[in-house]
Amino acid sequence: MKTNNQAKPKASEVHYWLYSTGNFANNIIFMMVGTYITYFYTNILGISPAMAGLVFMVARLVDAFTDPLMGIIVDKTNTKIGKYRPWIIAGAPFLGIMFVLLFTAPNFSMTGKVVYAFITYIIYSLAWTIVQIPQLALPAILTNDIAKRTRIQAIFQAFGSIASLVVSAWALPILDKLGGQDNASAWFKFTVIFGAVSAVIFILSAMSVKNVDVYDPAAKNAKTEKKGFSLKETFSVITKNKALLCVLIAYGTDMFAFQISNSLRMYFFNNMGGRTDLITYIGYASTFVGFALVAFIQPFVKKTGKRAGIIGIEALAILVTLPMLVTGLKGAYAISAVMFTYIAITFTWTINNMLSRSAVLDSANYAQMTLGINGTALVNSTFTFVNKCCQAFSMFFSGIILSATGYNKDAVEQTPGCLKAILLLCTVGPIIAYVFSIAAMYFYPLTRKGEVEMQEKLDKMSFVNLEDDLIL
């Protein structure tokens, strides 16, 4: 077999930053949906919280098929414009359009509105899959340095934190300027503006790594000479990957807790004297933390490793949730305690998010070392699926609880039972989730020493001729 010994292009610091701008677009859409879609469905579209929850759950059944399928497709992609970029560039406009339709309230009958919600949410979820899976897998070609990957994720999340600021701090004021928070036209205008901006940023972000994500002619030759893996063998990068299972459980439980808190944030602050203005400060804190961690996260990971890092951060998250819980149970919310908890959780969540996303890439390497199969995009598809499942489960669970405790969107003040349910969902629920996260990472097979050993093995391996291998 004729080999190609030409060195493949390496990513620079500029690539890390330009690629990461794509997370601004990603988080604008993801955070808007995670934070406001339940409120939009119940208060603008007019469907019940329970029905809204059912919409989210049904969409996840579809994702169970489409997400891994997309991962396999991306792993097998090798085009003239690269492996990951074609999907991001083609999918971005589609995602922007579905984002607008998701926050559109047509003048249909109640049955028509429910059907509309089902269709638009499921198609939106498919569009997000097309863009998100290659976007998350792309850092695998930027570096094989395990600690540096975490820094790339820090930069990635820093840009995402700007989007979180826009959503948490500016979305409601912008909606007010456009016509009001309960005005369907205002939501439509908002999503048209930010859907278009997000689509453009996605495309520019993908184009920025055009010199790194390139067509590999040697890979095509290798593919024709090598027997492919069976479907069962391909999926073993998921089913036999202990590292991935531990990360998904740890991240999933944490994400579940975070999404519950997000989806109920509007309800919580509305019923705390109408202080929705406080959400703005949470957004500012998220942005500050995101950029501050760019400088500190890499040395932190080099010192602790991802296993110990996530366990320690989740333990801290339990402690900082207690002030909000204790004051709430006493029946007199202390604004200082509530804001302390929300801002502190922003800190712990941001770190855990960075470590978990990087650990997913590590788990793809772990599968290569233990199974001899590279399935970077397929492994990342599980992360995308868990992300969406946690968002859906949290909103479904929240919707069921709100309905069961008598939530009434037209009431000036909710019942004591409903208010207590919101408090417990925002505090006790996350604490339980953090405990599960700690337990999962206890069994994570890669200590810091294991990470170093795996990186040394990866540095010695040459995957130049394989189309679907990591560029190290």
Residue type, 193: I
3-state secondary structure of 82: strand
In 103-168, which residue ranges form alpha helices assigned H by DSSP?
A: 110-137, 146-165
Statement: residue 265 has pLDDT above 60: yes
Write the DSSP symbol of residue 406: T
> How far does Cα 156 stand from its chain's mean position?
11
* pLDDT for the residue numbered 217: 61
How far CA 428 is from CA of 319, 338, 369, in Å, comes to 12, 14, 39
How far CA 379 is from CA of 99, 242, 360, in Å, comes to 26, 12, 7
Q: Give the mean model confidence (pLDDT) for residues 337-362.
A: 87
Q: Give the mean model confidence (pLDDT) for residues 227-253.
A: 83
Integer Cα distance of 132 and 362 in angstroms: 18
* pLDDT for the residue numbered 2: 42
Poorest-confidence range of 92-96, 184-188, 403-407? 403-407
Tokens read off for 132: 């998100």
Q: Give the mean model confidence (pLDDT) for residues 413-441.
A: 86
Integer Cα distance of 362 and 456 in angstroms: 13
* pLDDT for the residue numbered 366: 87
* pLDDT for the residue numbered 462: 45
* pLDDT for the residue numbered 9: 66
* pLDDT for the residue numbered 273: 63
Statement: residue 416 has pLDDT above 80: no
Q: Give the mean model confidence (pLDDT) for residues 247-251.
A: 92
* pLDDT for the residue numbered 271: 67
pLDDT over 90 for what percent of the chain?
34
pLDDT digits (tens, 9 = 90+) for 59-77: 888 888 888 899 989 988 8
Q: How confident is the model at residue 445 (pLDDT cuts 50, 70, 90)?
A: very high
Poorest-confidence range of 146-150, 230-234, 246-250? 230-234
Mean pLDDT of the chain: 84
3-state secondary structure of 79: strand
Tokens read off for 23: 């997370």
Q: What are phi and psi of 79, to 5 degrees?
A: -110, 175
Asked whether 373 and 236 are in contact (CB, 8 A), the reply is yes
Poorest-confidence range of 73-82, 150-159, 214-223, 363-372? 214-223
Quickly tell me which residue has 């930069």 as its tokens.
Answer: 155
Tokens read off for 344: 């502190």
How far CA 259 is from CA of 31, 255, 284, 396, 469, in Å, comes to 9, 6, 18, 11, 34
* pLDDT for the residue numbered 442: 95
Q: Give the mean model confidence (pLDDT) for residues 237-250.
A: 90
Position with higher pLDDT, 226 vs 246 = 246
| Number of helices (H), then strands (E), in the chain | 17, 0
pLDDT digits (tens, 9 = 90+) for 39-55: 899 999 999 888 888 89
Q: How many CB atoms are closer than 10 A to CB 196?
A: 15
Statement: residue 1 has pLDDT above 50: no
* pLDDT for the residue numbered 332: 64
Q: Give the mean model confidence (pLDDT) for residues 212-226.
A: 59
pLDDT digits (tens, 9 = 90+) for 122-164: 999 999 999 999 998 888 888 878 778 888 988 998 898 888 8
Q: How many CB atoms are closer than 10 A to CB 103?
A: 26
Tokens read off for 230: 């069976």
Burial class (CB in 10 A: 0-12, 13-18, 19+), 292: middle
Statement: residue 345 has pLDDT above 80: yes
pLDDT digits (tens, 9 = 90+) for 279-335: 778 778 878 888 888 888 888 888 899 999 999 999 999 999 998 888 878 766 677
Asked whether 189 and 311 are in contact (CB, 8 A), the reply is no
Q: Which residues contact 241 (CB under 8 A, 6 or more apart)?
A: 363, 366, 367, 370, 371, 379
Integer Cα distance of 144 and 214 in angstroms: 17
Q: Give the mean model confidence (pLDDT) for residues 5-20.
A: 78
Write the DSSP symbol of residue 76: T
Statement: residue 247 has pLDDT above 90: yes
Statement: residue 251 has pLDDT above 70: yes
